[in-house]
Structure 1
Amino acid sequence: MKKAILIPGNGGGSTHDDWFPYVAEGLRARGLQVVSPGTWPDAELARAEYWLPYLEQLGADENTILVGFSSGAIAAMRHAQTHRILGSVLVAGYHTTLGLRTEEVSGYFDQPWDWERIRANQQWIVQLNSPSDPYIPIEEARFLHERLGSDYHEVANRGHFYPMAEFPELLAAIDPHL
């Protein structure tokens, strides 16, 4: 059975808040098993040393779609760099530390990105970013799109995709891949 694992961003985010329950319900209605554990270990910093093994514990495999938000998108990309998955949805993704100390210590940026492996280890990648995001410059998103060949969606006036209770653009973007 296909499943989706929902991955929040750092700063204590939870997959039981904002648009995550809406997306979880929509994915279940599309026949997917949804893994949404709420708060993740090391939720404030979302360090790779905790999150990448946790993804393995949750059973991320070749039948899994990873839905990652912000630093959760970074975790999804790093997981896909070394593991086969079905696909990924990267919401507010980026590829540098953005000059932030929390990102510098996260462990996700200690090695170069292997874009080819990330692409090769999954069947598809959907990416959603907003030009109005106050944290992620749109150039970061466009760079990811160029490297990953993602199904790219720039969503106007959505900021950093929170706070918001619904996210129909995500479900519409993923539908062609299911």
Structure 2
Amino acid sequence: MKPRIVYIHGNGASHWSFAWAAWLKVELEKQGYPTFFETMPDSVTARKQFWFPFLEDYIKAGGGDVLVGWSSGAIAAMRYAETHKIKGSVLIGPSSSDLGDELEKQSGYFDTPWQWQKIKDNQQKIALVYSDDDPFIPQEQFKIVEKELQPDEVLKFSGRKHFIEEKTFPELLEYIIRTYS
């Protein structure tokens, strides 16, 4: 049975379907994957106090789910995996620091030290996805996440920035199909 793919967008989002997300949802469903792609509550600030109850009680994200988190959504996916079993995660443009950004500071995801081992232990597969010219997340942040989580796969791109301009993301689709078919 194919896992459910749960998409967690980043902060500042007014709707989940930004950039490549709507395309990915359609393509995954064509391949028979159950999906959950919705706008998270408190979508601008992306505060943990609102997102975790939504993930736990509304989405009921758990052991049969792959969390595809983008930017702040990747940070939420990592924090969620500290305390919840999931099938796997795809972390697109994550950070381990608030980087001095006021919205990230308000999110609540950086108030406690990371529990890297728990994140790894609570899932079967982790993928890290980033571009070498991300204008928002410094490259050293990707190196920290890679060192600490030792992902099963790293999809490093050149010239794709923070994937905001992308309307499709075939490499992401291919990874999900290859890993979770």
Question: Does the pair score TM above 0.5?
Answer: yes
Residue aligning to 2:65 = 64
* 1:24 aligned partner: 25
Q: Give the corresponding residue for 1:45.
A: 45
SS at match of 1:35: strand
Structure 2 counterpart SS, 1:40:
coil
Divergent runs of 4+, >3 A: none
CA contact (8 A) 1:130 1:154 kept: yes
TM-score if structure 1 supplies the norm length?
A: 0.95
Contact 1:131 1:137 (8 Å CA) reproduced: no
Look up the match of 1:123. 124
* Identity of matched residues, %: 40
CA distance 1:71–1:158, shift in 2 (3 Å): same
Contact 1:129–1:141, Cα closer than 8 Å, also in 2: yes
Gaps of 5+ in 1: none
Letter in 2 for 1:48: K
**Which SS does the other structure have where 1:31 is aligned?**
coil
- Residues 64 and 86, structure 1, Cα contact 8 Å, conserved in 2: yes
Match for 2:84: what amino acid? H
1:172 to 155, 174, 178: 174
State the partner residue of 1:79: 80
Task: Identify the residue that residue 163 of structure 2 maps to in structure 1.
Answer: 161
* Superposed displacement of residue 29, structure 1: 2.8
Measured after TM superposition, the shift of residue 22 of structure 1 is 1.5
Counterpart CA distance in 1 for 2:81 and 2:47 is 16
Deviation string, structure 1 residues 7-64 (Cα, Å, up to 9, x no partner)? 1100124322210011112222332101111x22111100100011111120201000
Q: How far has the Cα of 1:122 moved from its partner?
A: 0.3
Task: Give the aligned residue type for 1:171.
Answer: L
Q: How many residues align?
A: 177
1:176 aligns to what SS in structure 2? helix
CA distance in 2, matches of 1:119, 1:134: 27
**Corresponding residue number in structure 2 for 1:143:** 144
Residues 29, 172 of structure 1: CA spacing in aligned structure 2 closer, same or farther, 3 A cutoff? same
Contact kept? 1:126, 1:174, Cα under 8 Å: no
Q: Which runs of 5+ in 2 are unaligned?
A: none
Greater mean deviation of Cα atoms: 5-14 or 125-134: 5-14
